[in-house]
Amino acid sequence: MADLRSVKPKTAKAERPSREEAEDAVRTLLRWAGDDIAREGLQDTPGRVARAYEEWFAGYDDDPIEYLQRTFEEVEGYDEMVLLKNIRVESFCEHHMAPIIGKAHIGYLPAARVVGISKLARVVETYARRFQVQEKMTAQIAHCIQDVLQPRGVAVVIEAAHQCMTTRGVHKPGVTMVTSQMLGAFRNDPMTRREFLTIIGNPASVVGD
């Protein structure tokens, strides 16, 4: 049986601050930025930010394994590639808390079972809705699918723009970071990997993965 410990959410749940403490932290940042938290436009901002964080970081309360538990075996022996591409990715850089916006492509070669395609998107969403490093997120998604479904191979490619690079620091808009994780047949069989990359548009940075 697969060891699923590596893909379970790492939420060693230290006690979370209260909503009031979270809103006070937002007020502190607004003051530190140099604004007047008493002015009309900012009076409701702490509450809005707290509610936004509940949505943006809902992934900490979700278990991606649960989305992959319900599978289908009646697929008439289908054993070719299953591919879902252009999955919207909305995440946040763990270094600067700035948005990471892009798209993910997922392919797998079923051994006996397939999963509903919406569940693949849910796995992406769960890992994306946490503070992330793109390389780590790519690996987490791939290993989760591999460990739970036990397919003959998994491929994950993420293409994303990092606002910590486009709006601060080097200020280089239009730059896309591409990361990939190839497992099983996608790593070992060049033809399988080439088929996957061709279908998704062949990002040059991952041709040689």
Q: What is the pLDDT of residues 166-187, one digit of tens each?
A: 888 888 888 999 999 999 999 9
Residue 14: pLDDT over 80: no
Q: Determine whether 150 is an active site residue.
A: no
- Verify whether residue 21 is a known catalytic residue: no
Helices 117-128 and 134-149, interaxial angle, to 10°? Answer: 140
Comparing CA positions, the residue from 124, 49, 140, 131 lying closest to residue 96 is 131
Structure tokens at 72: 């289908």
Confidence of residue 207 (pLDDT cuts 50, 70, 90): very low
- Phi and psi at residue 180, in whole multiples of 5°? -145, 150
Q: What is the pLDDT of residues 185-199, one digit of tens each?
A: 999 999 999 999 999
- Determine the pLDDT at residue 29: 97
CA gap 40, 192 in Å, rounded: 58
pLDDT in tens, 66-95: 999 988 876 777 889 999 999 999 999 999
Told to judge if 105 belongs to the known catalytic residues of this protein, a careful annotator would answer no
Average pLDDT, the chain: 90
94 is catalytic: yes
- Can you state the percent helix, strand and coil of the chain, rounding each to 5? 45, 20, 35
pTM, rounded to two decimals: 0.88
Instruction: Assess whether 144 carries a catalytic annotation.
Output: no
- Tell me which of 93, 143, 163, 195 is the catalytic residue: 93
